[in-house]
Amino acid sequence: MAGVTLGAAGLRATARIVATPEGLPVLEGEGPLALRRTRARGAYHRVTVVGAMSAPLGGDRIALEAEVRGGARLDVDSAAATIALPGRTGERAHYDVRLTVADGGELRWLPEQLISVRGSDLRMRTRIDLAPGARLVFREEQVLGRHGEPAGTLSTRLTVHRAGRPLLDQELAFGPGAPGGWDGGAVLGGHRAAGQLLVVDPEFTARPAEARLLGDDAVLTPLAGPGFLVTALAPDARLVRQALDEVLRTLALPPR
């Protein structure tokens, strides 16, 4: 496949989406990241990420880029969970997501969960750049191990800039390669799944969200800007999704 390289250390591939008000002039999948136009809801273009092969494996370096231009609305989901797997060499895998939303653009980024399998080692980095008039709904969920197995090593970093200024910079680390205490009461408290829902909208400039607890294991935190972050913990993926979907329903957005 053009643009994909496979060396002794692992796969190298980048997929790219560009959305305009008129359509999707760029929809380029590579390697394990196949991109499909799917039926949209309302005024949104919709793209579904389909796993074309097992990835990320140890040693892989894959990236997914999406650009939403002025006035465009883009909804991105995935057909199945992303599963981080160990590779033959024992090297760490890297998965980079880069999202850009222009003034008047709107992005709903609602993929399925990331599952960290025993023996895997994945570093995932997400960088989001928003114009002052951009809107964003972004969800990510981590599941530590498949049913009945311990977690692999997983580190994630979510960095968001709005109008060129930092809005959010959050780093999480789980599993045997993470600093001690990651499974203790101050972090996961024994839970096996975690999720975050980030919402940024210029409307929150006039009416900021208020900090509050959402049940026993979820919290809404206002940001120092027009948006908020919901963080949820649960024993399994289903309960994390249930907590985050409730927030989406409150905002009159359709859950995925």
Both tokens of 106, joined, read 């709107």
Would you call 233 helix, strand, or coil by DSSP?
A: strand
Place of tokens 């990510």: 140
Q: Residue range 21-49: average pLDDT?
A: 93
Residue 11 lies in a domain: no
Do residues 120 and 85 touch, judged by C-beta distance below 8 A?
yes
pLDDT, tens only, 94-141 = 999 999 999 999 999 999 999 999 999 999 999 999 999 999 999 999
Residue 209 lies in a domain: yes
∠ CA 73-157-81 to the nearest 5 degrees? Answer: 65
Q: Is the pLDDT confidence value at 252 over 70? A: no
Residues, the chain, total? 256
Q: Is the pLDDT confidence value at 2 over 60? A: no
Structural domain that includes position 53: 18-250
254 pLDDT band (50/70/90 cuts)? very low
pLDDT, tens only, 130-141 = 999 999 999 999
* Domain total in the chain: 1
Q: Residue range 86-97: average pLDDT?
A: 90
* Cut 0.85: pTM above it: yes
Residue 52 lies in a domain: yes
Distinct helix (H) and strand (E) counts, the chain: 1, 19
Residue 68 lies in a domain: yes
